Amino acid sequence: MSFGVLRTAIAGATLAIFTVPATPSFAQTPPASPNTPTQISPPTTPSQAGDVFGQDATLTGKTIIYVKGTGTWDKAFEIIKSSFKKINGYLDKAGIKPDGMPMTIFTATDDTGFDYEAAVPIAAPPNDPPHGDLAIGRSPDGPALKFVHRGSYDDLDNTYEAITNYLDDKRLEAKDMFIEEYVTDPATTDAKKLVVNVYVLIKSGQSSPG
């Protein structure tokens, strides 16, 4: 299954039990019967002690400097990496230190591409705001589920498949937005050695059943 299909299944906002899936070709997992243990596909990337998968989290909005754009899944990492290099260049020139880990906010996806905001948190808006491709904004806030990915960016495909299965099995309804937060800076880290926190924003009043 393609990278874009899996992300669309998550960012399409809902599971089959709520609405028609955003991606018709995606096969939803049927609900388990009351006497059948729930089966959740684990991520296939290496994990370490302390890694979480489906942990309840509450995101707090932060001031961000971001680059907004569109891209295709086959060039996703190169596009994101280029965006962060642009942001880092501005921060270095302006003498501004990041106040958190870089992130990509995916605001829309389909089978072939995505809309995104590559963002770096800062403590406060600068007196002289950036111009051109760079802008000042605020990161999303609210309830979310946290998933940890280790390995290559291409292998996020496997992690997103496991996340989609997890949401389906837990019968959780997601918003049409998700976030990749990079523990390892994508502007400087080998694409095969990444650590990424994936946050799936869920609608209020829900939590992982555990």
Half-sphere exposure of 108 (CA within 13 A, CB side): 5
Residues 99/123, Cβ–Cβ less than 8 Å: yes
Domain count, the chain: 1
Query: Which CATH number do you get for residue 119?
Result: 3.20.80.10
Question: Is the residue at 8 inside a domain?
Answer: yes
Question: Is the residue at 167 inside a domain?
Answer: yes
Q: What's residue 141's pLDDT?
A: 94
Question: Is the residue at 178 inside a domain?
Answer: yes
The parent domain of residue 97 ranges over 3-26+52-202
Question: Is the residue at 34 inside a domain?
Answer: no
Q: What's residue 128's pLDDT?
A: 86
Specify whether the backbone of 54 is left (phi greater than 0), alpha (psi in -120 to 50) or beta. Answer: left
Question: Is the residue at 20 inside a domain?
Answer: yes
Question: Is the residue at 209 inside a domain?
Answer: no
Average pLDDT estimate for 34-61 = 66
Q: What's residue 10's pLDDT?
A: 63
Taking only the tens place, the pLDDT of each residue in 124-164 is: 999 888 989 999 999 999 999 999 999 999 899 999 999 99
Question: Is the residue at 35 inside a domain?
Answer: no
Question: Is the residue at 140 inside a domain?
Answer: yes
